[in-house]
Amino acid sequence: MKTEKVILKNETGLHARPASELTKLSAKFKCDIKIKAGEKEINPKSILSIMSAGLTANTELEIICDGEDEETAITELVQAFNNKFGE
């Protein structure tokens, strides 16, 4: 199991485009992925789960990957968050 902490930098939170980018990216990996934001636990493979969490800019998030490709998954996810999902 791998965990990593990131800060959500997108000014408008995880809106349509970044949320769909996150879903697409997460769906590529076989491992289980969870994102924790305080009390909330999000399944990033589900766009509804991401959107209904209503994450705003500057929230601290904990990414947890567990499974065979956890190493690549966590690296790519952290990178995507730091790149603001290309915004």
Partner 1 sequence: MLKGKGVSIGISFGKVVVLKNQKREIEKKNVDNPEQELEKFKQAFNAVINETEDIIKDLNGTELDIMQAYLMIMQDPSLISETENLIKNLNYNAEYAVEEGFNSVIQIFETMEDQYMAARSRDIADIKNRILAKLFNEETVNISKLHPDTIIVATELTTSDTAKLDFKNVSGIITEIGGTNSHTSIMARTHLIPAITKVEEATKILKNGDYIAIDGSLGEIYLNPTEEEKEKLLKLKEQILHEQEELEKYKGTETKTKDGYKVELVANIGTPSDVEIVQKNTAEGIGLLRSEFLYMDSENMPSEEEQFNSYKEVAEKMQGKQVIIRTLDIGGDKELKYLKLEKEANPFLGYRAIRLCLDNLNIFKTQLRALLKASNYGNIAIMFPMISSIEELRDAKKILEECKKELDNENIPYKKDIKVGIMIEIPSAALVAQGLAQECDFFSIGTNDLIQYTVAVERGNEKISKLYTKYHPAVIKLVKESIEGAHDAGIFCGMCGEAASDELYIPLLIGLGLDEFSMNANNILKSRKIISNLEKDECIELAKEVLRLTSAEDVEKVLKDFVERK
Residue 56 beta carbon to partner 1: minimum distance, rounded to whole angstroms: 7
Nearer to partner 1, 42 or 63 (CB): 42
56 binds partner 1 (CB under 8 A): yes
Catalytic residue among 2, 9, 15, 40: 15
Rounded to whole angstroms, how far apart are CA atoms 24 and 19? 9
The secondary structure of 37-60 as a DSSP string is: ETTEEE-TT-HHHHHHHT--TT-E
Which residues have a Cβ under 8 Å from the Cβ of 87 and sit 6 or more positions away?
Answer: 10, 11, 17, 18
Check residue 2 for interaction with partner 1 (CB under 8 A).
no
Q: What residues line the site for partner 1 (CB under 8 A)?
A: 12-13, 15-17, 19-20, 23-24, 46-49, 51-52, 54, 56
